[in-house]
Amino acid sequence: MKALPFPVLILLSLLLAPGPVSRAQDNVTVPKSRLEELERKERELERLKGDLNKTKDENTQLKQEKAKGEAKAATAPAAEPVVVHTSPPMASLPPLKPGESVESLDLANYYRADSQAADHRFLRQKLTLRGEIVGFDKPLFVRNYKVLLKTADRDTRVICDFLPPEKSNAVFTSDHGNQLVALMGEKRVLLARVGDQAVVKGECKGLHGTEIRMSCWELALMK
Burial grade of 197 (CB within 10 A; 0-12, 13-18, 19 or more): middle
pLDDT at 201 over 90: yes
Q: Backbone phi, then psi, for 95, in 5-degree steps?
A: -55, 140
99-164+194-221 fold: OB fold (Dihydrolipoamide Acetyltransferase, E2P) (2.40.50)
* Phi and psi angles of residue 161, each rounded to the nearest 5 degrees, phi first: -100, 130
pLDDT digits (tens, 9 = 90+) for 146-200: 999 999 998 899 999 999 998 899 999 999 999 999 999 889 999 999 999 999 9
Q: What is the pLDDT of residue 44?
A: 78
Q: Tell how strand 126-137 and strand 101-103 pair up.
A: parallel
User: How high is the pLDDT of residue 21?
Assistant: 43
Q: How far is CA 153 from the centre of its chain?
A: 23
According to the model, what pLDDT value does residue 23 have? 47
pTM recorded for the entire structure: 0.63
Q: What is the DSSP-derived secondary structure letter of residue 43? A: H
Of 213, 93, 99, which Cα lies nearest the Cα of 149? 213
Q: How far is CA 179 from the centre of its chain?
A: 23
**Close Cβ partners of 220 (under 8 Å, ≥ 6 residues apart):** 198, 199, 200
pLDDT at 24: 44
Contacts (Cβ under 8 Å, ≥6 apart) of 165 = 171, 182, 184, 189, 191
CB neighbours of 188 closer than 8 A, spacing ≥ 6?
181, 182
156, HSE (Cβ side, Cα atoms, 13 Å): 19
Angle CA(192)–CA(194)–CA(199) in degrees, nearest 5?
55
What residue ranges do the domains of the chain occupy? 99-164+194-221
Residue 145 is predicted with a pLDDT of: 96
User: pLDDT (tens digit, 9 = 90+) per residue, 103-145?
Assistant: 999 999 999 999 999 999 999 999 999 999 999 999 888 889 9
How far apart are alpha carbons 221 and 223 in whole angstroms? 6
